[in-house]
């Protein structure tokens, strides 16, 4: 029943799919959560009289997208709606749609929502994810709009974490992005569950250390951390990583692989080591060891290295990796904000 309710919220509240619009749902296998939610969206759309199609693509962590998915994307029209709900990824679409997924969707005028990288989601956390998907947008939008305005065009921002994170960066000329979960206008879209602020710092302005103490993303897996990782960041680039040897080794292999892919694609090989996004969560709850969820929780923040081209930054890259930590405070000019303050603004 909760899958059906979450599906209806995605269709009606998040995407506002109408009876005269086409709705494409893409998943990647018959797994407990991704397929069940995708199937519930398809069935509920049919019940609402919407022209819906369910596509099951092959599982992809790296490499080319599934031809079935490419066909759907190539034939999208204005006011079509698309929901990606996968255990893994869409695949590299740069070779197919040069300027990236988000730019392509803006160009076509189709709306979209995504819920990807669910391979690490445990069955015991299915209900937590469904509850997060069903959070109403009204309160979140009020809070998100106020916080977004505070970060607008700021020359100097500092973020501090409970385990020692201390980062300073510039947002001069950059607009923060708030994922409201309301994707009603042509070309709009975002990740679900909604409820986070994304900051896109000037690419060479980020300096300091990030103590990652919640989880880190490597390939399709989210690794829940027992001991923190230390990222040393100099002039926007990851200059070094310290922590448990096995985790550091996996991250370095991942970075080196993307550096190779970037070089072969004509991109800067260092792009995968560049801090391109800093996120702040707004959803009440607790971490479940899944990056796309944990990074949106109130009291958490994340740094992301890799691609933000087409989203708010200028870093063009074949990959994008999030690393979450517990947030202590944010300093903007003389103003200091703590997570407990967000809902009091």
For 117-130, how does the pLDDT look when each residue is reduced to its tens digit (9 = 90+)?
888 888 999 999 99
What average pLDDT does the chain have? Answer: 90
On the question of pLDDT at 94 being above 80, the answer is no
**3-state SS of the chain?**
CHHHHHHHHHHHHHCCCCCCCEEEEEECCCCCCHHHHHHHHHHHHHHCCCEEEEEECCCCCCCCCCHHHHHHHHCCCCCCEEEEECCCCCCCCCCCCCCCHHHHHHHHCCEEEEECCCCCCCHHHHHHHHHHHCCCHHHHHHHHHHHHHHHCCCCCEEEEECCCCEEEECCCCCCCEEECCCCCCCCCEEECCCCEEEECCCCCCCEEEEEECCEEEECCEEEECCCCEEEEEECCEEEEEECCHHHHHHHHHHHHHHHHHHHHCCCCHHHHHEEEEEEEECECCCCCCCHHHHCCECCEEEEEEECCECCCECCCCCCEEEEEEEEEEEEECCEEECHHHHHHC
pLDDT at 315: 84
Structure confidence by residue, pLDDT tens digits, 23-64: 999 999 777 899 999 999 999 999 999 999 999 998 877 777
pLDDT at 44: 96
pLDDT at 262: 83
On the question of pLDDT at 312 being above 90, the answer is no
pLDDT at 99: 66
Using pLDDT thresholds of 50, 70 and 90, give the confidence band for residue 195. Answer: confident
Looking at residues 178-199, what average pLDDT do you find? 92
What is the percent of the chain where pLDDT is above 70?
96
pLDDT at 102: 82
pLDDT at 32: 84
pLDDT at 317: 82
- The larger pLDDT score, comparing residue 106 to residue 81, is at 81
pLDDT at 293: 86
Looking at residues 63-88, what average pLDDT do you find? 90
Which domains, ranges and CATH numbers included, belong to the chain?
2-133 (3.40.1830.10), 139-344 (no CATH)
């Amino acid at each position: 029943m909760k899958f059906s309710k979450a599906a209806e919220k995605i269709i009606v509240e998040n995407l506002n799919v109408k009876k005269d619009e086409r709705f494409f749902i893409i998943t990647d296998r018959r797994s407990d959560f991704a397929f069940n939610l995708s199937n519930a969206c398809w069935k509920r759309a049919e019940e609402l009289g919407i022209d819906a199609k369910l596509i099951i693509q092959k599982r992809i962590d790296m490499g080319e997208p599934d031809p079935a998915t490419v066909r759907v994307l190539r034939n999208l029209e204005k006011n079509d709606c698309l929901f990606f709900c996968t255990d893994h990824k869409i695949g590299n679409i740069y070779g197919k749609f040069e300027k990236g997924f988000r730019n392509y969707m803006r160009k076509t005028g189709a709306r979209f929502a995504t819920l990807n990288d669910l391979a690490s989601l445990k069955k015991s956390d299915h209900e937590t994810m469904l509850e997060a998907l069903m959070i109403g947008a009204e309160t979140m939008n009020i809070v998100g709009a106020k916080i977004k305005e505070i970060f607008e065009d700021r020359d100097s921002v500092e973020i501090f974490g409970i385990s020692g994170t201390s980062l300073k960066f510039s947002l001069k000329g950059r607009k923060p992005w708030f994922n409201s979960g309301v994707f009603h206008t042509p070309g709009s879209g975002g990740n679900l569950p909604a409820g986070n602020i994304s900051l896109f710092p000037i690419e060479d302005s980020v300096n300091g250390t990030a103590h990652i103490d919640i989880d880190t993303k490597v390939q399709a897996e989210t690794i829940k951390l027992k001991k923190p990782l230390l990222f040393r960041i100099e002039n926007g680039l990851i200059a070094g990583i310290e922590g448990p040897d096995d985790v550091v080794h996996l991250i370095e292999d991942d970075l080196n692989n993307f550096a190779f892919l970037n070089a072969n694609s004509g991109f800067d090989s260092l792009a995968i080591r560049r801090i391109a996004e800093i996120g702040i969560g707004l959803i009440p709850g607790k971490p479940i060891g899944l990056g796309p969820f944990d990074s949106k929780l109130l009291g958490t923040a994340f740094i992301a290295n890799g691609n933000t081209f087409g989203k708010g930054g200028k870093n063009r890259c074949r990959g994008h990796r999030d690393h979450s930590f517990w947030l202590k405070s944010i300093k903007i000019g003389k103003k200091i904000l703590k997570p407990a303050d967000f809902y009091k603004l």
